A and B are shown apart, each in its own frame.
Chain A
């Protein structure tokens, strides 16, 4: 009997994720999808903004790893 297994939300993961697994009639995996259910658009809205805003802005991509994100834009700025 075919069945869909849904894991929603994917817990203990930053960002929003959902997993759906489609099983066929034999209970074997027919397909599996990982859905990313959040997009904010940093790549686009930071365009045209002053370079000195970038460390502060990029740090807000992720609250768990803001530190590494602050350092990265400083390299091209130099």
Chain B
């Protein structure tokens, strides 16, 4: 019987959810018996695969590239899991929303730059006016709140997804956890 295929994706996040996922430590070895990680920033795949059983998505949608990416992930994934507060509510990246992308870019690349002040435009995606959670763009199947969700939460949730057992998310984790 072939293993379940797992992918992890980061959009506009900090990789904290990925680190928390890795904090499962030796339990990752048990997981490796059941899943194949076929795409992830933690491995070397460049293209999102044709079919993925479970995709864990971290980070909010802040740029046109993020939007394109999440739509692609949704189209090729059976179960899409929004992991972490950024993907569910916008969280920290969305703190730029009242200010707007121009002021953000100005502060980072003009005011705070000691040399060659310029807003980067070559080969970088355009920022969306408003940072939004992934559910604003695609249907999400499972929500795992937390900043980050604990390794325990990941372990319980993934085990439930792989075995078809029920999941009580509010008992496991909450926003800002």
Contacts and interface: CB of A to CB of B under 8 A. Distances in A.
Interface of A: 8-9, 11-12, 14, 16, 18, 20, 33, 35-41, 43-45, 57, 60-64, 66
A60 B92 contact: yes
16 contacts: A12-B41, A14-B14, A18-B123, A33-B122, A33-B123, A37-B125, A38-B12, A38-B62, A39-B105, A39-B108, A39-B127, A40-B92, A40-B93, A41-B103, A43-B112, A44-B99
A12 B42 CA distance: 6
Contact of A37 (B18, B44, B63, B91): B63
A38 B63 contact: yes
Given A20-B123, A40-B92, 19 more contacts: A8-B46, A14-B15, A18-B123, A33-B123, A35-B120, A37-B63, A38-B63, A40-B96, A40-B104, A41-B95, A41-B99, A41-B103, A41-B104, A44-B96, A44-B103, A44-B104, A44-B108, A62-B15, A64-B19
Q: Which of A14, A60, A63 has the most CB of B within 10 A?
A: A63
Contacts of A60: 14, 16, 91-92, 147
B43 interface: yes
B107 A44 contact: yes
Contacts of A8: 46
A43 B109 CA distance: 11
B130 interface: no
B52 interface: no
B12 A40 contact: yes
B15 to A, nearest CB: 4
